Structure 1
């Protein structure tokens, strides 16, 4: 299964900055006919709207509000490509006083938000001869980083859900891509204390390429590729394997 973005209609959550914004720019560069910019603050997409005019359409979205997700699906019935990029990170070690609160917040957006989006949009995606769902996970989904224990836990959960979606949506002809970046120079990386990393454009361009190749895992940046080289054998023999027999 492979997916070309040319001529397709996409929806990107968290499209106003960082990786999300870079994804929008790459999609249009590679020929997407329209991109919905799904954000909590519609005014935050003014730059993209001015630059791309009728190629983009801003729509309200809040991963914490199930009703807004269904309303989003109702307002974007022509979507071929769903990119679930929106996510949150709290700095919390396992013994931190805010650990439970941080994990609840991260799970609600990073995991439950993914499930809600997949449930709302799968009936739309399956109507198209080519369609895809992209989930932005993280290298933290396969390795816990102690200062970000709760974030790592939420991303491990979202990665597990993504694996389940891969199998469930395959039956509907929908391609699934799980993206695992390392530190990318975004506001989230700054919050986490990272001072170096690849650009958001590296991730965005790699997503377009991975979709065209029909891949499930994507480790797009220089740090992520170190993880990939060690993880590949396990992924090939366990994650990507059919163990049902």
Structure 2
């Protein structure tokens, strides 16, 4: 499976997944239609749209794409805010010709957020970013903890396709949390070089995030100590610690 990053809006990525030369073409979280249509070759007809959650910058292009391609399947979670033609639940598997994905429960950023895992790739919307994660607009620290644990269980070689180019901004916070992390510092340098050339930092790998992303490392002793020191008291448990980390990031300048 080959993924193409389509830049959209300010910092969004819409992912085009091509399943072989003659296989289906999938569109992931199209916030707008125009750049997707521009990326498709004249003879290419997409098969399906995969939607992770209801925010407009992820679903705003669906109507226009369906107007261009009336047979387009739109697969998303059980949420009336999402214009899906097919609803899926966590634990289910979807098959689109030779493409097969497991639906993951990633509800924290929003309460109906899902992800799609298959072919060595995680399509995670705003659940996880490189060196960060989505704000808790609807979910709780308990939800965030569960999501991080779900992601941690995936194979380390998993390619992570999130929906925003936030890596360089996230890096500043990650360094504040764990300044002595050599892997993080090396990655931050790599990110700076990529962004200086206006290149994407996504996809990342789960192994890199396990090594560098504070939201996947909140239970590491040094990270935990830094969080507790910032708030001036010990965290009651892992959930509170992760919630504190998210709150710190929300107000970090």
Larger fraction in helix: 1
Per the normalisation by structure 1, the TM-score is: 0.39
Per the normalisation by structure 2, the TM-score is: 0.38
Larger fraction in strand: 2
Q: Which has the higher contact order (CA 8 A, sep 6+)?
A: 1
